[in-house]
């Protein structure tokens, strides 16, 4: 059986992570409050609603509605007044690939009441993306509907499933990508069975993602729930994420990330990284996780780094983490031999074995003397 965890995390605070083959520790004040993202303001009052069916969209189970959606977007984007695009309730619209590109003249909202679905077959997608929003400001996407990637055919052809396939080719597309967007709200949607990652925020600023349900089978490969890269001032709130990979992954260039009230599992937990691959310099700071629940996950809250890259991890607080572990090693702090972890605090971290009568242990390597453990079990020597 694959090791699973059941954790409740009240606070998991990352102040600074600096990664490179020659990165020096930077001095920053240690505090418990991070700079949280401001909630993006919604677009101004809508004066017109654009139903995608007016632009030729057909919920007939066979038509590719990519162009119809794009026509509705272009009209809204070129309007001097704020406009809402509507995907009607109770209908399923298939699309192969669509780009929603700005900048636009005014704020745009998209109300997805029905379902946007990918065809259940492999096909070419530009830059391995299925639905992409790029260079857009002041956007709101909501509506209670569903975005379904029909990812099973892609999973079956993944190199993680078919070991003879090269991983560099035929990579599955990310389902929903936001690139270089700002003042963005994504809320009240269901995202299912992404071909690969479900949602990717890349080079974005001032984002709120809330009340999302993200689901894919536990065995589906690389189906991260929400991926954050080079994005700042983002809130991820009040969501349920059940996938085959990280519920939330936060990587290079991201800062001021506020994660609260997330139900995660199955999946790999909430992860920062991987960082420092191929001796590259990565920087992540001000990551705050509070009120997360992990059930049936392979990990809880973790930082992933490449050992050979001499990654510096500093100013990390794990606080009020209570739960059970299915694996014997419940806490694993394996830092760089050349640049030990610095200023790591474990406070009120209490983990026990999932099976009665068994014991769990902590594995700690290369921790600097500033590391402290307060009222935490299992524990290990700071000199390990």
Catalytic residue numbers? Answer: 268
* Helices of type H across 79-145: none
Q: What is the DSSP letter of 24?
A: P
Residue 170: Cβ within 10 Å count: 14
CB 129 within 8 A of CB 198: no
Please count the other Cβ atoms lying within 10 Å of the Cβ belonging to residue 127. 11
The half-sphere exposure of 68 on its side-chain side, counting CA atoms within 13 A, is 20
Beta strands in 60-204 (DSSP E): 83-87, 92-94, 98-101, 108-112, 115-117, 129-134, 137-142, 146-148, 174-179, 182-192, 199-202
* C-alpha radius of gyration, the chain, whole number: 22
CA distance 194 to 176: 9
List all residues 6 or more positions away from 170 whose beta carbon is below 8 Å from its beta carbon: 122, 157
Residue 287 β-bridge partners: 14, 257
Identify the CA nearest to 336 among candidates 373, 311, 356, 355: 311
Which ranges of the chain does DSSP label H, i.e. alpha helix?
66-78, 152-156
Element at 235 (helix H, strand E): strand 232-242
Task: Please answer whether residues 128 and 173 qualify as being in contact, where contact means their C-beta atoms are separated by less than 8 angstroms.
Answer: yes
- Residue 226 β-bridge partners: 199, 248
Torsion of CA 46, 214, 168, 272, to 10 degrees: 100
- Measuring CA to CA, which residue among 283, 214, 296, 210 is closest to residue 250? 283
Neighbour tally for 319: CB within 10 Å: 18
């Amino acid at each position: 059986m694959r090791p699973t965890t059941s954790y409740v995390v009240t606070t998991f605070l990352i102040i600074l992570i600096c990664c490179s083959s020659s990165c020096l520790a930077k001095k920053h004040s240690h505090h418990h409050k991070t700079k949280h993202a401001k909630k993006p303001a919604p677009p101004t009052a809508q004066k017109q609603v654009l139903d995608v069916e007016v632009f030729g969209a057909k919920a007939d189970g066979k038509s590719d509605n990519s162009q119809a959606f794009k026509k509705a977007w272009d009209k809204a984007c070129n309007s001097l007044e704020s406009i809402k695009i509507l995907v009607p309730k109770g209908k399923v619209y298939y699309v192969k690939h669509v780009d929603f590109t700005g900048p636009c003249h005014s704020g745009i909202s998209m109300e997805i009441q029905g379902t946007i679905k990918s065809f259940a077959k492999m096909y070419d997608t530009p830059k391995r993306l299925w639905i992409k929003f790029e260079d857009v400001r002041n956007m709101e996407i909501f509506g209670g509907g569903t975005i379904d990637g029909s990812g099973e055919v892609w999973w079956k052809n993944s190199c993680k499933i078919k070991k003879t396939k090269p991983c560099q080719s035929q990579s599955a597309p990310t389902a929903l990508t936001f690139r270089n967007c700002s003042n963005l709200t994504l809320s009240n949607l269901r995202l299912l069975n992404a071909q690969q990652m479900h949602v990717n925020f890349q080079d974005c600023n001032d984002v709120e993602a809330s009340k999302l349900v993200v689901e894919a089978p536990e065995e589906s490969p690389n189906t991260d729930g929400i991926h954050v890269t080079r994005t700042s001032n983002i809130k991820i709130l009040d969501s349920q994420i059940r996938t085959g990979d990280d519920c939330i992954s936060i990587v290079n260039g991201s800062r001021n990330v506020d994660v609260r009230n997330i139900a995660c599992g199955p999946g790999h937990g909430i992860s920062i990284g991987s960082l420092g691959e191929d001796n590259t310099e990565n920087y992540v700071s001000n990551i705050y996780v509070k009120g997360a629940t992990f059930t049936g996950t392979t990990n809880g809250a973790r930082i992933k780094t490449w050992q050979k890259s001499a990654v510096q991890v500093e100013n990390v607080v794990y606080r009020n983490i209570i739960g059970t572990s299915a694996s014997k090693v419940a806490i694993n702090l394996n830092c760089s031999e050349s640049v030990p972890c610095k200023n790591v605090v474990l406070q009120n971290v209490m983990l026990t074995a999932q099976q009665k009568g068994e014991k769990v242990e902590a594995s700690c390597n290369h921790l600097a003397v500033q590391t402290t453990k307060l009222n935490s079990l299992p524990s290990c020597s700071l000199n390990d």
